[in-house]
Chains A and B, each alone.
Chain A
């Protein structure tokens, strides 16, 4: 049996076509999936000067499984900006949710959304802050949204074997398996996923201690009125406190950082008086 030599003339159409079909079949689903998830502006005409907030559906023990959706919706309530929710899985232009539409313009990314609304509505809930306080606010917002967030992801998808909240939210087994795999990969890439659970709990405690110590016995982070950073912190804490029931996290909060628990309850009472109608307890018929 001699070795066949590969020459151009010996490349019969069959294998070549087969190769093209194979490569297309590999790449096509990814491309089509990305296209489908890109934002399409809502067809229905919405009222002027009303924010259309695109987010996933309501969740079992907090208004959303996404800390960023809660951050943005809390901001809209604090700033008293009229809004309507659209519960769909359409992604914003960066491929993520939540995102907003306002008078025909669509804006992704919660920080960009708040900046956009600040300008459009000429309203800055950070108005009374000094430059130094604004600086501290940004530092805390980045810590919770870019660091504490990934720890929450680890607990939700990797450490919590019961996945009670995810199951109550009605996710299919396949979707759960895919997202669990991705979460493992993402947290490894980000770094925090390379540690043991015990180490991660210690890291989380470090973040919570920083928040707790800065808040102290104040009502909100910078005094008696909430600012943008309170919305961000509440968004992340809401997941830690209410959406990780079978993990050590709620206990860490209630036993070691009571002022953060009181802070969450305060925001819930003052800005989410309709909290109970914004959570599903697992009833999938409720939006």
Chain B
């Protein structure tokens, strides 16, 4: 009964509305199907056994990836001397979680950078927390979670919403309609998350306080726990690299400059583990 009322209502809509609505619906369905198909296209590439393949979203600009979690993974593999391949495809996301990066290994997909690291540590018999005391592991996790679960959202809002020049959108030649719609969707997500409720000044203050805590803990050490980098340095470097070099029009770079030791730390991680940084950040580099 209710259904026939709905269909009657739809039938009585002006023809213009029906045409517009129909086009919109068809367009949406086609786009989703096309993107799924495009994503599946590359599944046919076959790798030798035991090859680690990181699936992520592409090189550059300014950083090896626009997601800090791919930088974290690659930095860790480079640190441990674990060889890996990289595949770039915005449209192919992990089947389980719908996010990037994910790992492909012997035909299996593993999503989530932390799960990937745990998987690789078992597979390649590597101790993720080599040389660290239980207290350091606790502190490391706390700092990693602060950066990945708090500072991360500050920079996401900074880069994708607060930047009035919409620099990142313009870099990808996105139209004003797309910019408007994406910013609106992001504002809603960030509002319900909580981070979207702060004024820009308050958000900047929160980001600065997070970086201040990190800066104070790092002090004059080379890495978080001394002279040897750990998995936690890789995670933290991922976030800092985005803030420092890939904020586009956001206030990130200005905020991190308040903490010179963090800027030096970024340069140190870059020079130690990414000697090919300048090549790798080129957008057309598929390595």
Contact = CB atoms under 8 A, between A and B. Distances in A.
Interface of A: 3-4, 6, 11, 15, 94-96, 109, 112, 131-132, 134-136, 138-140, 142-143, 146-147, 182, 185-186, 189-191, 194-195, 199, 203, 206-207, 209-214, 216
B141 A142 contact: no
Given A143-B149, A207-B145, A135 B138 contact: no
A194 B14 contact: no
B213 A138 contact: yes
A132 B135 CA distance: 14
A210 B215 CA distance: 21
Most buried by A among B98, B141, B202: B141
Contacts of A203: 114
Nearest to A216: B135
B149 A131 contact: no
Contact of A4 (B15, B150, B209): B15
Contact of B142 (A6, A182, A214): A214
Contacts, number: 104
Nearest to A95: B197
A206 B193 CA distance: 22
A112 B215 CA distance: 22
A135 B214 contact: yes
Closest 3 CB pairs of A and B: A142-B146, A143-B145, A139-B142
Nearest to B143: A139
Given A138-B146, A139-B213, 9 more contacts: A3-B15, A142-B149, A143-B149, A146-B150, A185-B192, A189-B189, A191-B97, A210-B141, A213-B134
Contacts of A146: 145-146, 149-150, 153
Interface residues of B, number: 40
24 contacts: A3-B15, A95-B197, A109-B198, A134-B213, A135-B213, A135-B217, A136-B213, A138-B210, A139-B143, A139-B213, A143-B145, A146-B145, A146-B146, A146-B149, A146-B150, A147-B149, A182-B192, A191-B99, A195-B97, A195-B112, A210-B137, A213-B134, A213-B135, A213-B137
B228 interface: no
A112 B202 CA distance: 10
A143 B96 contact: no
A128 to B, nearest CB: 16
A109 B115 CA distance: 32
Interface in B181-214: 189, 192-194, 197-198, 202, 209-210, 212-214
Given A96-B194, A210-B138, A214-B135, A132 B217 contact: yes
A199 B210 contact: no
A214 B138 CA distance: 6
Contact of A136 (B16, B97, B142): B142
B283 interface: no
Contacts of B14: 4, 6, 11, 15
B219 interface: yes
A28 to B, nearest CB: 18
Given A96-B197, A131-B216, A136 B145 contact: no
Nearest to B16: A6
A158 B204 CA distance: 33
Contacts of B215: 135
Contacts of B137: 209-210, 213
B153 to A, nearest CB: 8
